[in-house]
Amino acid sequence: MIDTHKPHIKIEEQDFYTTLLNITTSRAKKVEMFVSTMGFERWVQGEHIQKCLPELSPEERELLISGLDYEDQKLIFAEPED
């Protein structure tokens, strides 16, 4: 595996078109995700993730950015109750 700019993301495999990422979540779970190699490299170089990887859901992009798994995202980003 290859280290990346984020300690929770490792590159498992990569070719010209596709990159397989191994992500360690905030709850120490392992998630594998395929992304566009070109989009991933653009994000690593500093472009906004929404522009680089628009095919990912907001939850998947947050997982890449912060490592927060889906359950933690729900807790943190939940709408406050009235």
How confident is the model over 22-64, as pLDDT tens digits?
A: 999 988 999 999 999 999 999 999 999 999 999 999 999 999 9
* Residue 82 belongs to a domain: no
State the pLDDT at residue 81.
75
Tell me the residue range of the domain where 35 lies.
2-76
14 phi/psi in degrees, rounded to 5: -155, 135
Beta-carbon-side half-sphere exposure of residue 78 (alpha carbons within 13 Å):
9
Tokens at 67, concatenated:
């490592």
Q: CA 56, CA 49: separation in Å to the nearest integer?
A: 9
**50 part of a folded domain:** yes
Give the count of domains, the chain.
1
Q: Which pLDDT does position 15 carry in this prediction?
A: 96
- Quick check: 1 pLDDT over 90? no
pTM above 0.75, yes or no: yes
Could you tell me where the DSSP H helices lie in the chain?
Answer: 37-44, 49-52, 58-66, 70-76
Report whether pLDDT(76) > 90.
no
